[in-house]
Chain A
Amino acid sequence: MPLLDFSPLLHGQFLDWLLAGVRLSLLLTLFALCLALPLGTLIALARLAPFAPLRAVAWGYVEAVRNVPLLAHMLFWYFAVPELLPDGLKAWLYAGHIEAVAALAALVTYTAAYMAEDVRSGLRSVPQGQWLAARALGLRHRDAMRWIVLPQALRATVPPLISQTLNLWKNTSIATVVGAAELMYQAQRVETASFRGFETFALATATYLGVSLLITAAGVLYQRRYPARPAAR
């Protein structure tokens, strides 16, 4: 094994490339989280709606998305979806950062399906009595959900949502297949240009692991600060 030398990677162009990659990875995570969380919540609500067709559609979405690898989602959003769009929109997309947009779309749809399941199990963890009491007080389904059940459910859902965020962070690496210039892509680029494979991938791995551990720590901290309460009777 050759002697490890990180110095060529820690200044100049190579460092710039890697930092740009970290930035895009973080941005993808942040934007996808901000879009997937409300979408996932809506899907979870639809899965518990009193209207059966809505429930069926939401169930279909979750199953269809979760049983297909994220890589296939990325390829579909990158190669196939633009073909379905009107010409004007397509031209506009190809003029911009279509790779990043396709990756973001795939990450949002994929993460939303997983988050929907987390929110749904959070909703189901709220004791039935809360529902019945709200309804007995004359609240409609919508209001009982909004004022009584959802606020309690979301609190119970935070820990699984944090681990879903961790998955999202790791999943941004797959965006490299459509050429989005996130950390994985930039690491490969630096590796090709610098011939320092071990060092480059060690840096990239340390970055992924570092952010992962931060997210895990956030989860531990939350659980220590707000331990799960036994259901109120």
Chain B
Amino acid sequence: MSVLEMIDTYWLYVLIGQYPNGPLGGLALTVLLAGSGLLLALPLGVLLGVARVSPRALVRRPVTALVYGVRGTPLLMVVFWAYFFLPAVTGHKTDQFNTMLAALVIFDAAYLAEIVRAGLQSLPDGQWQAARALGMSRGQALRLVLLPQALRHMLPSLVNQFASTIKATSLGTIIGLSELSFIAGQVNAQVLVQPVAVYGTLALCYFVMCFGLSQWAQGMERRSRV
């Protein structure tokens, strides 16, 4: 089978999997998983990031331990824990999509927490003092003065985190989730004689998405510096 024939036969499969005759898969599933993972992780990451700079040791220490723990563990390990824990906690079997989503949310939240922390710490101390001097409570100062500024500084990092999350979804393959890498494996098993073309295309798909995102983030950073 030539490369062109291969592309002609499998492009729709790579794009959306067996949908609508079966579960959604391929590139569409990869993007959906990365997008929903990051969106769900964002509020959690902000909470953890704020807790990381809390003056109360009782709040700060456990969150710091959690962040260090998650960041010191391979994502693959987190995926396996989700695979085991979710059914034990919820009482019924969790499908691969939700398992992967849970792992990504935990993992991303830990990384986002560090981005939020850096964003908060990069703000001048005067912002805090001014907000407090105006009579705001700690919560109000955070919500109304500090976080909006920190989040704006964080935007380029967030876009880059989205690219990382897209790369991370590839681990879904290991638990049999039919995302892009899994589909590539299936196509390779069917075509058999074109591994270079199949896996080259797989790499190219990821490259186009992630390179595009990182260039966008760089552009944003350049504009905000002016």
Interface residues of A (CB under 8 A from B): 1, 63-64, 66-73, 75-76, 79-80, 83-84, 166, 170-171, 173-174, 176-177, 184, 197-198, 201, 204-205, 208-209, 212-213, 216
Contacts and interface: CB of A to CB of B under 8 A. Distances in A.
A79 B174 contact: no
27 contacts: A1-B88, A63-B211, A67-B209, A68-B207, A69-B166, A69-B168, A69-B206, A72-B202, A73-B203, A75-B181, A75-B199, A75-B202, A79-B199, A83-B195, A83-B196, A170-B74, A170-B75, A171-B74, A173-B77, A176-B76, A201-B80, A205-B73, A205-B81, A208-B73, A208-B77, A209-B73, A216-B72
Interface residues of B, number: 38
Nearest to B168: A69
B60 interface: no
A76 B73 contact: no
Give the most central of A1, A68, A69, A209: most B CB within 10 Å. A69
Given A67-B206, A69-B168, A208 B74 contact: yes
Contacts of A68: 167, 203, 206-207, 210
A67 B163 contact: yes
B214 A71 contact: no
Interface of B: prevailing SS? helix
Contacts of B184: 72, 75
Q: Interface majority SS on A: helix, strand, loop or mixed? A: helix
By Cβ-Cβ distance, the 10 closest A-B pairs, closest first, are A212-B72, A69-B167, A67-B210, A173-B74, A69-B170, A170-B74, A71-B170, A79-B195, A76-B199, A80-B196
Contacts of A213: 68, 72
Interface string B33-55: 00000000000000000000000
B191 to A, nearest CB: 11
B127 to A, nearest CB: 26
Given A67-B163, A80-B196, A205 B185 contact: no
A174 B171 contact: yes
B188 interface: yes
A197 B210 contact: no
A70 B181 CA distance: 11
Interface in B168-185: 168, 170-171, 173-174, 181, 184-185
Interface in B138-167: 163, 166-167
A176 B76 CA distance: 10
Contacts of B207: 64, 67-68
Contacts of A84: 196
Contacts of A1: 88
Given A64-B207, A170-B74, 16 more contacts: A63-B211, A66-B210, A67-B209, A67-B214, A68-B206, A69-B168, A71-B170, A75-B181, A75-B199, A79-B199, A83-B195, A173-B76, A174-B74, A184-B77, A201-B81, A204-B77
Interface string B99-133: 00000000000000000000000000000000000
- Find the residue from A67, A205, A216 having the highest chain B CB count within 10 A: A67
Given A71-B170, A176-B174, A201-B81, A76 B76 contact: no
A72 B203 contact: yes
A69 B72 contact: no
A171 B170 CA distance: 13
B11 interface: no
B19 interface: no
A13 to B, nearest CB: 21
A217 to B, nearest CB: 11
B37 to A, nearest CB: 14
A84 B195 CA distance: 10
B73 A197 contact: no
B200 interface: yes
